[in-house]
Chains A and B, each alone.
Chain A
């Protein structure tokens, strides 16, 4: 959905908000995701990843705040995007409702798992 005037077609107000959310979060996600990917994938690299590394990284409070932002914006953008794709194939009111609830629960479960790990941190066995 890349046209701006389809908003003129009767849509619930929350859908207009979701539509705008995708675009505003996009501007924020460009620096957030790319800095994250450059540091973790290109500078650190997967071969240097370990429990000890995550422990060290999250000892710095700023990185935890950074990761909270990343989780909040990237995951909601992603799940809402998936929801919008699925809704394109929805042909009934009830299908739309099912998609919306499934996506909300999906978002809630995984966002909570990620947030819990970020808040409580690494448990060194």
Chain B
């Protein structure tokens, strides 16, 4: 009896979770924001359609990467331009909610198709996430409110407190929420497969790359390895928990808040732009009716306080007459066809490869011989300095990574001398000598650095036998000195003024 009641309860809960009726405010907002974000990436590519997506250019089909040549057709330039223009048109019509369902359907087909046609410079994981979102929006009634469609249907719709809003089952929004959580779970699994993520090395090298857009603080964050480690652990915990706790109450606010911060930082440190915007637009699926009504009440209060009475406009209390559907369809079709024709003609006139220039086609210029000689000298052995990533002296390690950098030590203190190297590297002998100001070797040490390891540390205790003064830790790779760090030992040995060692600035 108890067991069957539990089953019934679970079934009812699942039924309520997916089929409870609600006004799709969150999805309507997503319908407006997501295409706008996708337009940011699509518009620069609109000028390169012939080159990126057509058989008359240099398409880079994804299916060839997987060994499926010819899986889908690569269109010629005219067809590619026509379809791309249609895709842009549908992004705009989705944004305003004009023939929303058909616009989303076309987008759901064309958007991933163009992504797959150019796996080099269009397809990314944000393309995939957006494709899922478009497909799910296509199944929803996101165009039923705050849209041209609703306006044409003659519904009052703008104020959530007074509108006669249609209600539908919540399952498309639920699936979008689950998509967000599952993508985070997949991302967490990726990190679990990447040991270098937990030492901060992966993030460090990603922040150093020039493959993404410029970022404002990535290079500075590199100076604080402890911060990178903390963020790495917080990220993986948050990504793992998201799917399970981001549903209601404080946990929802917390998870979404961390998410916004996380995606902001992917811009600030890694230079990602479209991916965080796509993801933040997916967060709109977490907005429910109560959130919208809460916001509407506060907006009304705000408006009453800010706007003078005479400027407050009241909307008509009656619904407009609906526009005949066949006329709306015809207008939509004519607008799409006209835009496609304009797009084809504009692209043809733009002469993207310069074949119709008055001065003739472009001519290739030969490269200077010295540049050719430089590029044709292949596979030179690495210089020892290029095997080294960093060489630092400090006292505190966190997760195996030195997190402070110091130059002044007292007798009795223990220094950690850490050497980090580039990957991949051979099994190496990392020699670390302590040399006094006159160049005499005071202590010789070293360690084997196996090929699977990126850093090694030695500990050095400054005993009383060591005279106060200036010393150097000298790093040798391949038997040659590649780096040295200046330190000062004892009270009398510390410099009176500013130090000359630039690494000291990190303290």
Answer yes or no: do A and B interact: no
